[in-house]
Amino acid sequence: MEGGGLKGGCTAHAPLHTFEPLRRTALNRVFVVVYSCALFALLYRHAQMLLYSTTLLSFSMTLSLLISDLVLAFMWACGQAFRMRPIRRKEFPESLKRIMKEEDFPGLDVFICTADPHKEPPMNVVNTALSLMAYDYPTEKLSVYVSDDGGSALTLFAFMEAAKFAFHWLPFCREHNIMDRSPQVYFASNYHSWSPEIEKIKMMYENMKVKVEHIVDKGEISDEYITEDQQRQAFNKWTNGFTRIHHPTIIQVILDKSNDKDVSGHCLPNLIYVSRQKCNSSPHHFKAGALNVLLRVSAVMTNASIILTQDCDMYSNDPQTPLRVLCYLSDSAIQSKLAYIQFPQRFHGLNKNDIYASEYKRLFQVNPMGFDGLKGPNYVGSGCFFCRRALFGGPSASFPIEVPELSPNHVVDKPIKSQEILSLAHQVAGCNYENQTKWGSKCGFRYGSLVEDFYTGYRLQCEGWKGLFCHPERAAFLGDVPITLFDIINQCKRWCIGLCEVTFSKYNTLIFGSHSMGLLMGLSYSHYAFWPIWCVPVTLYSFLPQLALLNKVSIFPKLEALSKGGGMLKGCG
Ligand SMILES: O=c1ccn([C@@H]2O[C@H](COP(=O)(O)OP(=O)(O)O[C@H]3O[C@H](CO)[C@@H](O)[C@H](O)[C@H]3O)[C@@H](O)[C@H]2O)c(=O)[nH]1
Ligand SMILES: [Mn+2]
């Protein structure tokens, strides 16, 4: 990307970031050559066997072997692209202060997506939001937007409670310099010493938790919990005809940085609840649709130049994360083409040896380093900081957008709760707003695949944007893995369908991808896009040995046959 060796964005004294190639790269390249020769020999043998086969049985078995091994060889070849130039990066947030004052930090809009209060408990979503609101970042530059695709009053209620708790929690984190800023994680850990102050804030948290869990269990908010008129007005929007798939837009500014100060007098970040309009007649495009609504609503309200997209089950595990991001974004050498900075998805609650292999370490931690040495990692949906501009056209040309207020250059000069801002925000969150616009095709998060993250990152990189992989030792975010077999199979099915949608479109990673980004990037993306075809060799290989045994056919060469130089098998020949 930026040349070889140990390099980085340098100031006069210390670098903000460096990177170095991994040591085994040369060895990997030699291995690829040797192993490719072996693969060609194997495929040659299969082809020869096919030509010499005499019975239908031996023919079909050899053909199955040939197909399986062709698929395996193709997947292997794609995977090797990651090993051609893997790099490891390091950033030095402590050097940041020397070149940048806090007043000059860019704005940061955080997007959290949730879709179902029963599958994604509001208490978890609230913990994610609190951990992000408590970032070590100037609060007047920070806004947190919550997209509720479940359109649930329970989620809104949970956030109203969370806002009250934030008045105490944020100054508490700052004063005690706490690392675990998700209250649930902090109070579950037992390393902090007891003090009356900790006990007091823990009580507050427990009270909130009991209240929220109680209303979620009951499925409705009883009158006793609604204390303010403003709250009552908000909940009145849940009228009789309101369902999760058919309802009007609800936008609620829960915290407003220009008015709300925490108990120590510091301003609080904006906290905005958004449930976009849903109607049976127009497609909602799942998470990509939700993110595009947030992109527009946030443009109208705050229009920060950096956006963090976050799944509701992924809390922040390190309050310094945005400073790491600034180490890259403030480097003018890479700024102009940089679309996003991806952190790995890491998970908590796995047992030490991860016996169910839920960590997907290769997918989320190893392969992205390989991508990073080329044009950058794929976007994985959560833990990713975008430059807003990247979602509005290519690196050299952005196109005019239908409403000037949505443009990334627009400066918001009205209070967030003003009537003009609120009515425009409602308008851009409507379900028919995107008709006849470029949203989802050229602008914003891209539609057309169930894996909108993979597809969006891919399309951005095809346009010429670059990504960057940031993998600090302490996990920046920690999330949940699916824990039931049903959930895992469902996730797997969703990913496979989404990837097939990309593979069988005109944006095929092998053809379009290699053409736009070069062969290695095309192969790397194909390693994911073609992931569903693993099922071909896995299925064939699980039946072949039994069939061969039953029919007394041997499918692997015998040593003596090989030493005679023929390689033909008695049974199959
Ligand atoms: O209509 C929808 C569906 C989902 N979501 C949210 O999208 C996120 C991811 O959905 P989930 O069902 O948890 O999918 P996973 O397979 O666990 O997620 C992985 O795969 C997705 C699709 O590739 C990515 O979007 C995610 O970021 C990535 O973590 C969650 O926060 C949901 O609340 C919505 O907002 N609206
Ligand atoms: Mn998930």
Report the pLDDT value the prediction gives residue 553, as an integer from 0 to 100. Answer: 80
- How far is ligand 2, taken at its centre, from the CA of residue 167, in Å? 29
Q: Are residues 249 and 209 located together in one domain of the fold? A: yes
Tell me what the mean pLDDT of segment 256-262 comes to: 94
Domain-located, residue 18: no
Q: What is the mean pLDDT of the chain?
A: 92
Note the pLDDT tens digit of each residue in 108-134.
Answer: 999 999 999 999 999 999 999 999 999
Report the pLDDT value the prediction gives residue 559, as an integer from 0 to 100. Answer: 74
Four-residue CA torsion sign, 535, 538, 541, 543: negative
Q: Are residues 284 and 369 located together in one domain of the fold? A: no
Could you give the residue ranges of the DSSP H alpha helices within 134-182?
153-176
Quote the tokens at residue 534.
Answer: 């693993």
Q: Quick one: what percent of the chain has pLDDT higher than 90?
A: 78
Q: Which atom of ligand 1 is nearest to the CA of 147?
A: 35
Q: Is the pLDDT of residue 54 over 60?
A: yes
Residue 383 Cβ contacting ligand 1 at under 6 Å? no
Domain-located, residue 494: yes
Instruction: Give the residue, 199 or 351, on which the prediction is more confident.
Output: 199
Q: Are residues 68 and 176 located together in one domain of the fold? A: no
Q: What residue owns the CA closest to ligand 1's atom 31?
A: 311
Q: Which residues contact 508 (CB under 8 A, 6 or more apart)?
A: 502, 529
* Structure confidence at residue 558 as a pLDDT band (50, 70, 90): confident
Q: Does ipTM come in above 0.85?
A: yes
Report the pLDDT value the prediction gives residue 567, as an integer from 0 to 100. Answer: 44
> In sequence order, what DSSP letters do the residues of 409-431 get, joined into one string?
TPPP-S-TTSHHHHHHHHHHTST
Q: Are residues 296 and 159 located together in one domain of the fold? A: yes
Q: Is the pLDDT of residue 432 over 80?
A: yes
Weakest mean pLDDT among 156-165, 219-228, 316-325, 524-533: 219-228
Residue 290 Cβ contacting ligand 1 at under 6 Å? yes
Q: Are residues 116 and 225 located together in one domain of the fold? A: yes
Q: Are residues 180 and 325 located together in one domain of the fold? A: yes
Domain-located, residue 98: no
Residue where a domain stops, chosen among 267, 298, 331: 331
Q: How many structural domains comprise the chain? A: 3
Tell me what the mean pLDDT of segment 359-371 comes to: 93
Report the pLDDT value the prediction gives residue 564, as an integer from 0 to 100. Answer: 60
Q: Compute the distance between CA of residue 1 and CA of residue 20 in angstroms, rounded to an integer.
A: 11
Domain-located, residue 382: no
Domain-located, residue 305: yes
- How far is ligand 2, taken at its centre, from the CA of residue 392, in Å? 27
Task: Using most ligand atoms within 8 A of CB, pick from 119, 311, 456 the residue to mutate for ligand 1.
Answer: 311
Report the pLDDT value the prediction gives residue 114, as an integer from 0 to 100. Answer: 97
CB 105 within 8 A of CB 330: no
* Structure confidence at residue 3 as a pLDDT band (50, 70, 90): very low
Q: Quick one: what percent of the chain has pLDDT higher than 70?
A: 95
- How far is ligand 2, taken at its centre, from the CA of residue 313, in Å? 7
* Structure confidence at residue 11 as a pLDDT band (50, 70, 90): very low
CB 15 within 8 A of CB 95: yes
Q: In what order do the strands lie in the sheet with 87-91?
A: 7-10, 15-21, 87-91
Note the pLDDT tens digit of each residue in 82-113.
Answer: 999 999 999 999 999 888 999 999 999 999 99
Q: Compute the distance between CA of residue 389 and CA of residue 395 in angstroms, rounded to an integer.
A: 8
Quote the tokens at residue 380.
Answer: 């994985």
Domain-located, residue 409: no
Report the pLDDT value the prediction gives residue 6, as an integer from 0 to 100. Answer: 46
**Whose CA is closest to 130, among 144, 151, 114, 109?**
144
* Structure confidence at residue 532 as a pLDDT band (50, 70, 90): very high
Q: Are residues 447 and 514 located together in one domain of the fold? A: yes
Weakest mean pLDDT among 191-205, 448-462, 473-487: 191-205
Q: Compute the distance between CA of residue 445 and CA of residue 250 in angstroms, rounded to an integer.
A: 21
User: Residue 111 is part of which domain span?
Assistant: 105-331
Amino acid identity of 312?
Answer: C
CA angle 315, 319, 324 (to 5 degrees): 110
Q: What residue owns the CA closest to ligand 1's atom 28?
A: 381
Domain-located, residue 10: no
From the CA atom positions of the chain, what is the Rg in Å? 27
Q: Are residues 352 and 474 located together in one domain of the fold? A: yes
Q: Compute the distance between CA of residue 323 and CA of residue 138 in angstroms, rounded to an integer.
A: 11
Report the pLDDT value the prediction gives residue 84, as an integer from 0 to 100. Answer: 95
* Model pTM score: 0.94
Q: Are residues 516 and 551 located together in one domain of the fold? A: no
Domain-located, residue 351: yes
Q: Are residues 35 and 116 located together in one domain of the fold? A: no
Q: Is the pLDDT of residue 545 over 70?
A: yes
Is 149 one of the annotated binding-site residues? yes
Our answer to whether residue 372 is catalytic in this structure is no
Q: Are residues 111 and 258 located together in one domain of the fold? A: yes
- How far is ligand 1, taken at its centre, from the CA of residue 233, in Å? 30
CB 345 within 8 A of CB 380: yes
Q: Is the pLDDT of residue 452 over 50?
A: yes
Q: Are residues 121 and 42 located together in one domain of the fold? A: no
Q: Compute the distance between CA of residue 315 and CA of residue 182 in angstroms, rounded to an integer.
A: 7
How many helices (H) and strands (E) the chain has is answered by: 20, 14
Amino acid identity of 330?
Answer: S
Q: Is the pLDDT of residue 1 over 90?
A: no
Q: Compute the distance between CA of residue 369 and CA of residue 354 in angstroms, rounded to an integer.
A: 22
Q: Which atom of ligand 1 is nearest to the CA of 382?
A: 27
Residue 517 Cβ contacting ligand 1 at under 6 Å? no
